[in-house]
Chains A and B, each alone.
Chain A
C-alpha cells in the first residue's frame, strides 16, 4: 500500500514535471513569437482572428488564475474559520508564494507594456513618416509630371490631327508621317490613333525597347472619348519599366471620335525606385493604420505570457505550500490525536523529503509510545495483581499475627516500630499507641524493657533467627521470653529492618521447672532410697544375727560402717542441695580473666589421656567484671562435663573474647554431643544425661550466669562435640 502511494506520487511528480516542461515550452514559443512578431506579415499580426484568439486566451487565463486563487483563498478562509491546525501557517506560506510571484510579475508586465508602447510609438516617429511621405510625394510628383507631359503631348498631337479625316484610308500615309514627326519631335516612345476603341494607326520608337504595340485598354479609350482625356500607367513586360499612356480625344471629330494615345516609357530603374518609394510609404501607412491592433496584439501576447507565468507561479506556489503544509497539518493532527490517547494513530502523508523523514520519525515515536504504553499497562496490571496478592498476603499476615501466640514486633531501618501484634503488646504490657510508630528507644525506655534494647544491640544487624532468652519484670511479675531477632532484607539483599519474635516461656519454664522438680524429687527419692536400702539391709542383717543368737560383733561393725557411709552420702547430698539452695548473690569485681582461666584449666590438664585441654583469651578480653568464685564454679562444671564427654583423642578448649561490650566465654569439646531433645531440660536441676551425679551442675551454671544478667546457650561443635557459650554483659 505504501509502495502504491509512493509510485502514484512519483507518477504525480513526473506529471507535474511534464506539465511544467510543457508550460516552459509554451512560454518559450510565445516569447519567440513575441520577438519575431515585428517580422510577421502585418496581415497576420493585425489579423482580427489572431487578436480575438489572443484576447479569448487571455480571458480564459485570467479566469483560470482567478479561479485558482479564489478557490485556494476560499479554502484557506474556511480552514482559518474552522480553526484547522496549521491553517495560519499555510495562509502565510501561500500569501508569501503568491505575493513573491504576483508582485514581480505584475511589475514586469507593467514595465514591459510601457516599454512595448514606447517601442511601438518609436516605430511611428514623426521623422520616419516625414521622410517616407516626402519620398513618396517626390516619386508620385515625378510620375504625375510624366503623366501630365505625356497627356499634353497626346492633346497636342490630337489637335494637329483635328483636320484629318480618319475614315479615309487614302490619308493613312499622311497620318503615318505626321505621327512619325510628332514622335520624334516630342520624344515619345509610342503614338497611336484610335477611332474610339478601334485601332487606326500607331508608331513606335525602335530605340525604346517596346517589342509590341501597347494595348491601352477599352476603359482608357472610352474615358478619353467621354471625358476628352485619360491617363494610365502600364507595365509592358516584366522588367521593362513603366509605360505612361496619355489619351486625348481628337477635337472636332464626329462619332466615332478619334483618340490619340501617346506613350512614354520610364526606365526600369526609375520606375522601380519610384514604386519602391511609394510602396514604402504605403507599407508605413498600413502599419500606422494598424498601430492600435499591432499594439493590442503585442500587449495581449505579453499579457498572455504574464498570465501563464502567474498561473504557473501561483500553482507551483500553492503546490509547494501544500507539499509543506499537508504533512505539517497531518503531524499536528497526529499530535492532537496522540495527546488525546490514540496511540494507534499513524500519520499517512506522502512526503519524501525532510518532512517525510519527520513523518517517519513521528510514526516511529508513536509506535514506540504505543509499545511503551502496552508495556506500562501490562506492568500496571502485574502491579495491580501484585498489590492484590500483597494485600491478600498482608491480610493473611495480619490474621496470622493477630492469631499467633508469639509476639511479633517489626522495626524499620531507623528502629521505629512498624508492626506489632496483639500478642506482643500483651507480652510487653504496652498499648499499641505506645509502640507503633515510635522508636524502640522511646518505647522501651524503662529499665526492664531496656533489656530488649540491650538484646537488640547484641544481635548483629544481619543476624537471622538468633534466639535469646530474657527475663523481664513486667507488671510485678517475672516473665521469661525467648527473643528471636531476624533481619528483613530487600530484593538486593540489603537489610532494611528487623523482626523480633517474642515467645513467652514463663509458663513453659514453670511447667518445665515443675517437671524438673518432679524429676528432682524422683531422683532425690531415688538417691535417698539408694543409701536407705543398704542401711535397711545392714540393720535387718544385724537384727537377724542378733535374733539367731549368732555373733553380731562383726555384723554390727559391718552394718554400722555401711550405715555410717550411706548416711554420709545422704549428708553430702543434702549439703549439696542446701548449697544450691543457698547460693549467694554474685559479688562482681574486676578480675584478671586469663589468670582465672589458667588456674581453672590447670585442674584438667593430663586428667584424661589423649584429651588435650587448652585455653585462649582474645585481645581485649583480659579483664572482666564478674564474681570470680562463681565464674570458676561454673567453668569447672562445664569442664567436668566436657572432659567427661570427650574420648581420646579429643580436645577441650576454653576461650574468651569481647564484642560489643559483652564478654563471651566458650567451652567446646569434641565429645559425643548432646541430643537435641535433651537440650531443653539441660539446665534444669537434677537433669542428667550421665545417669549419675546429682544433676545440679548445669543448673548451678545457669543460675550463676543468670545472676550475672547473662545468658548461656548450647550448640553443636563442628565437626563434632558441644559448645557452651556464656554471654555476660560488661558494665
Chain B
C-alpha cells in the first residue's frame, strides 16, 4: 500500500534532486537540492527513523548545502558564459537511464518472483536513547573510528584549502627571492 504521504514526499525528493541537476545557475541548483534533501528527510520520518531524518536535515540541509553555496560563491566568475552540460552529455544520460532501467527491472522482477511477506503493520518505534545505547555498547569501535575520520578529514580539508601565500613559513622565502 502506498499512501499519499509517501508519494508526495518521494515526489518532492525526486523533483528537487532532478531540478538541482538541471538548472543553469549553480546557486539555484543548491536551493533545489535543499528541497530534495528535505523531501528525503521527510521520507525517513515517514519510515519511522526520526533520528536519521533529523540528522539528515542538520547535516545535509544545514551543513553540506551551506558549504556548497560558499564554494560556489568563492569560485564564481561573473563574465564567463556558463554551459550546463559537458561535451559528453548524451552518453552520460544514456548510462544513467540504463542504470535506472536495470535497477528498476531487477527490483520489480525480485518482487514478482517472491511476493513479499515483508509488510509490517506498525512502524518500529526507536528512540534516541536506544540509538545512543547501541552506539556506545555494540558499535563503540565504529563510533570512535568515525570520530577520528571526521577529525582527520576536517583538518585535512583546512590544510588542503589553505592558500600557500598565507602560510607564514612561505612568505619569508618568497620575500628573499
Q: Do A and B come from one complex?
A: no
